[in-house]
């Protein structure tokens, strides 16, 4: 950790003179924002990402003193919204809600319309959260061991649903297949809400889903959580075992963060980072993120960049191991 801090300090010291010598750098910071800000959510309304986007937008509006409007630009597993922000004017007035789908989609896309590591500048993480492996309450599966045993005995007979090919739900499920030695079939849908509907109707067997959508149904008894994908059991549902207890080494965490168009002036990125950090420290924000099943987690822009790069490498490995066709 000390070595990381030294590196970050060296980067800051090296960048400082450049920013100071840049004409208008101070003016950028002082004059921002000059109008309302758009936060692009690359998923449809009503899903877990949309819920998080509206929470972030509300808090940023209070902090920045201007309206922050959520604009849903769904499609292609988040690529439509991400591409829109990558090509927007780099003035800090168009933000991107970055989710775990961002590196997953980048790993799967064969001919992307933008570079995920160069065309979007990271600002800060907001929260991190695991997934639950859900089955319908009427399901015969009482544990992950039950599920794995049946799936191994009946390859290709069980199925799972996701928000689409290349989503983090898809890759998390395929990592499960790889580590469990199973062949559970993927059935993509158009969004998390539809996948939940399919599960509760008994048309699919299991679903990897974020706490934001899962928890209300788990708590109401409509779904049964077989496991959580964090390394250890969560505080909210301590009776739900970690998947790693059955599949040692399995870990998948998704996240929510904020990014901007690459080329946005550094003072604006720094201002947004400061505002997000302050928001995440507010007790009501901490409480709400925790209620939604996440762990409040701000970061520097550099730390978020390194994290996205790390996750991107992980999903590329899963895609290669499972021979998933890149789109």
> Per residue in 276-309, pLDDT tens?
999 999 999 999 999 888 899 999 999 999 999 9
Domain final position from 213, 245, 277: 245
Beta strands in the chain (DSSP E): 37-41, 68-72, 94-99, 120-130, 132-136, 159-162, 185-188, 207-209, 223-228, 253-261, 295-296
Q: C-alpha 20: how far from its chain's center?
A: 34
* 48 and 59 together in one domain: yes
Structural domain range at position 77: 35-129+254-321
- Preceding peptide of 301 cis, ω within 30°: no
* 149 and 237 together in one domain: yes
* 308 and 216 together in one domain: no
Residues of the chain with pLDDT under 50: 1-28
Find tokens 């902090």 and name the residue: 63
pTM equals 0.81
Task: Establish if 9 belongs to a structural domain.
Answer: no
pLDDT of residue 31: 86
* CATH number for position 237: 3.40.190.10
The number of distinct structural domains making up the chain is 2
Under 8 Å between Cβ of 151 and 290:
no
> Per residue in 173-200, pLDDT tens?
999 999 999 999 999 887 657 888 899 9
Q: What is d(CA 112, CA 142) in angstroms, rounded to the nearest whole number?
A: 41
Name 133's bridge partners: 208, 227
* CATH number for position 115: 3.40.190.150
Both tokens of residue 293? 């099943």
pLDDT of residue 327: 78
């Amino acid at each position: 950790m000390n070595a990381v801090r030294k590196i970050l300090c060296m980067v800051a010291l090296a960048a400082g003179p450049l920013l100071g010598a840049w004409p208008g750098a101070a003016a950028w910071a002082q004059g921002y924002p000059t109008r309302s800000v758009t936060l692009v959510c690359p998923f449809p309304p009503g899903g877990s990402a949309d819920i998080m986007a509206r929470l972030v937008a509300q808090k940023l509006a209070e902090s920045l003193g201007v309206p922050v409007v959520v604009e849903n630009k769904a499609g292609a597993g988040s690529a439509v919204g991400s591409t829109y922000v990558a090509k927007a004017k780099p003035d800090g007035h168009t933000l991107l809600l970055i989710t775990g789908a961002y590196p997953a989609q980048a790993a799967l896309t064969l001919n992307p319309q933008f570079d995920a590591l160069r065309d979007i500048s990271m600002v800060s993480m907001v929260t991190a959260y695991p997934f639950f492996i859900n089955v319908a309450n009427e399901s015969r599966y009482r544990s992950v061991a039950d599920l794995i045993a049946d799936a191994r005995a009946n390859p290709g007979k069980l199925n799972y649903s996701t928000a689409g090919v290349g989503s983090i739900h898809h890759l998390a499920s395929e990592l499960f297949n790889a580590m469990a030695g199973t062949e559970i079939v993927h059935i993509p849908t158009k969004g998390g809400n539809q996948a939940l509907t399919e599960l509760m109707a008994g048309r699919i067997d299991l679903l990897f889903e974020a706490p934001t959508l899962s928890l209300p149904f788990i708590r109401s008894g409509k779904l049964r959580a077989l496991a959580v994908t964090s390394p250890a059991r969560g505080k909210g549902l301590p009776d739900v075992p970690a998947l790693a207890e059955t599949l040692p080494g399995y870990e998948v965490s998704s996240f929510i963060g904020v990014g901007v168009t690459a080329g946005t002036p550094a003072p604006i990125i720094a201002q947004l980072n400061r505002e997000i950090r302050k928001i995440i420290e507010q007790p009501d924000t901490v409480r709400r993120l925790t209620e939604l099943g996440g762990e409040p987690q701000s970061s520097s822009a550099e730390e978020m960049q390194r994290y996205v790069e790390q996750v991107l490498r992980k999903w590329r490995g899963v895609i290669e191991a499972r021979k998933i066709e890149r789109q």
